[in-house]
Structure 1
């Protein structure tokens, strides 16, 4: 077997010294050029040995570390949702856009409600569960209501449900594709309703109308949402909220007021916490005697023009133009603010401003009366 030229030592240091002495003599005997080459080769050899030693030891004195060999597992726990900072007035950053409540808004259902005659008004149901109630002038100077509900809180019953009108669709365009419940419409308006961006909930599309869809007829909002589940979730329609004492500057006291139409009227009286609603000179009630109430009232002054459709009588239907701009009187916390409103397109939010700043409401239900 071949023997290594490097002495094993065996405890004899003298043998090792003689080996190095012999090699040194050999090196000095070399030509100068060969000495340089030999030195360079030795340097390369030593560097390679050093690198190999570090690789085998893991760069940590020969010990492996968890950081190098076994990295910590990636956490699969979901990160906590960021905390939303409060907005002025103590409300969270994303309240219900229709009411300003901390309760998130649900899917939207709009319902046309009959409002003609004391007997009809006494039968009304569900108004105090609405997020928003629109009071709209119709033919003959009379009025009809359109109540907006969201699926996060609905009443047992809503009605009496009546027919749709031309004013309704430009209002609803800002809400997205919502469920729209009504019973009937003029023949000329039916094609517009069929192609409108709404889910038409009528006696012909939904079997849940009471009394076979004949007046007086009522619906269950929960049942409507179950059968028409794809309605848009409550969007930002332009309302802004800030609860008292963060009321805007510039309001003047107004404990009671009346808004008149040619053959209808709406009265509102502040009781210290809410407005009590009157219709046509008497207390408005819902759900068998409960007084209609609202937190805010917006009297939105609009142009009211003849509508495109007629019922064949002289009292042609009218259109309240809610797209455009104009003045508005906003009532909250027993005060009135004289504002402006703007809605550039049918699908735009309606913004209400006072002295160039957004007009804010108290969180809660809002009645919007469209008046000339």
Structure 2
């Protein structure tokens, strides 16, 4: 019993370290408007700065997604914390667009290292038989950390001094504390190999996975694209169209989407993985419809409801997608298939967002948002219709 308690304490501390890293990836969200005022760049450049993060994540997933299996979890996670600290230093030193892009790229590299390694590490720290509870800890740490980033930055920017500096100074202190905790935690990889033995993971799609991968990837792409819009341009929409210039409010709206995603992922246990993917698609479609209403009628309530419903739909659909493609994959190709799904998901968090930024110049932010919604609704509707005609097997 004492051994189990110690293991759960370590599991919780590992989850806390995971959350601290993810906080840094969304910390700049409510601050983009302030950076625009300070450096005088367009909405398109805001989305480019935001999307640089996703390119960093994708690069790590492709080149080093399996490195912790060889060299150990702790060295990879410590490297991730160093990159997170370097990202905070870039934002603290920012004198122009280049610094912001560098900070976002380093943050993406950090998140890319943490996404797989920290999830597995948290589960390995749990006692035997605790896989389900450990999965909850990892999920809550990941999405909860993403949600706490804009909330923390928004509150500090609104109610404390130095809005462009204090959030990153606080995060730097949290990273330092997390490094001390991680140093104390045990290594879980017993047989380690040199870094030279690691080979990049190539995304792959065996024939038996292709039927389920299409709708799963489409739902993942749309869900992450919705998050991308919320975390990049929703503060600008709130300020320009709704005259909501309180950074704590804009940060809270974004945080709500991530917290709702956590709830959606947890609901998969009750709903069942087979039903969570089509239900998640329906939630995403409803969230997009609410966001369209918010853009058309300029209503804050609909923005909040879109974050709640769309976030829950994203959580349901993504965990359902992950379960479906994992179940359909042969054991020796599972890692490459999951990597391919994550690459598609993170493409969703970057490419459509840049498109919104590009269109916001000629047709305005609201018009660009409506074009985005129509395209994403068509994509997720196609996936939903396919899933209704070809249901995911109950075993997934």
TM-score with structure 1 setting the length: 0.28
More strand as a share of residues: 1
Higher RCO, Cα 8 Å, sep 6+ = 2
Q: Highest CA radius of gyration, 1 or 2?
A: 1
